[in-house]
C-alpha cells in the first residue's frame, strides 16, 4: 500500500513539475510499469534526440531501486546494447548508492546527467569507453550518428 501511494505521489509530481527535459507516465495504467522520455541536452552528441526508457518498479520499492533501461539505442560508455545503465544510484549498497529517500525523478535526472557526462572509468561498453577517453572526436561523431539514426522523431 505504501508503495502505491508513494508511486502515485511521485507520478503526480512528475506530471505537474517534471524536471527539465524529462517526462514520465504509466504504461497502460500499470502502476509498476512506467515509461519515460529524456531529451538529449544541448551541446552534447545527444542534442535534439528523444530517448525512451522503461521503468519497472519492484514490489519492495522504495527499499529497492526501480529497474530502468533505455528502449532507444544510444551510443554511450555506460549504457549497453540492451539499454542497461551502469549508474551507482540504480544499485543497492554496498556496490550501489540507492537509498529509499531517492525517487524516480532523481533517478531520471541522474541518467540525464550521465548522458551529458559519461563516466569512462566505470564502463559497460569497454570499446566505447576507450574511444571516449582516447579519441573523443570519433566518439562524438558516432554518438551523434546514433542519435540521428535512432532518437530523432
Q: Which residues are catalytic?
A: 86
Could you give the 3-state DSSP secondary structure of residue 83?
Answer: coil
Range of the domain at 2: 1-151
Query: What tens digit of pLDDT does each residue of 100-138 get?
Result: 999 999 999 999 999 999 999 999 999 999 999 999 999
Question: What does the alpha-carbon distance between residue 95 and residue 98 come to, in Å, rounded to a whole number?
Answer: 9
Query: What tens digit of pLDDT does each residue of 51-79 get?
Result: 999 999 999 999 999 999 999 999 999 99
Number of domains the chain contains: 1
Question: What does the alpha-carbon distance between residue 147 and residue 145 come to, in Å, rounded to a whole number?
Answer: 5
Look up the CATH number of the domain holding residue 101: 3.10.110.10
Question: What does the alpha-carbon distance between residue 2 and residue 31 come to, in Å, rounded to a whole number?
Answer: 13
CA distances (Å), 80 to each of 9, 25, 109, 125, in order? 31, 24, 19, 6
Amino acid at each position: 500500500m505504501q508503495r502505491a501511494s508513494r508511486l502515485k505521489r511521485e507520478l503526480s509530481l512528475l506530471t505537474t513539475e517534471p524536471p527539465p527535459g524529462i517526462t514520465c507516465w504509466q504504461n497502460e495504467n500499470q502502476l509498476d510499469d512506467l515509461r519515460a522520455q529524456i531529451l538529449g541536452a544541448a551541446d552534447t552528441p545527444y542534442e535534439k534526440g528523444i530517448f525512451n526508457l522503461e521503468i519497472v518498479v519492484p514490489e519492495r520499492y522504495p527499499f529497492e531501486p526501480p529497474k530502468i533501461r533505455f528502449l532507444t539505442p544510444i551510443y554511450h560508455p555506460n549504457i549497453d546494447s540492451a539499454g542497461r545503465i551502469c549508474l551507482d544510484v540504480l544499485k543497492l549498497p554496498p556496490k550501489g548508492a540507492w537509498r529509499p529517500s531517492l525517487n524516480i525523478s532523481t533517478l531520471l535526472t541522474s541518467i540525464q546527467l550521465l548522458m551529458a557526462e559519461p563516466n569512462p572509468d566505470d564502463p559497460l561498453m569497454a570499446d566505447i569507453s576507450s574511444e571516449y577517453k582516447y579519441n573523443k572526436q570519433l566518439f562524438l561523431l558516432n554518438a551523434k550518428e546514433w542519435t540521428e539514426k535512432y532518437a530523432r522523431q
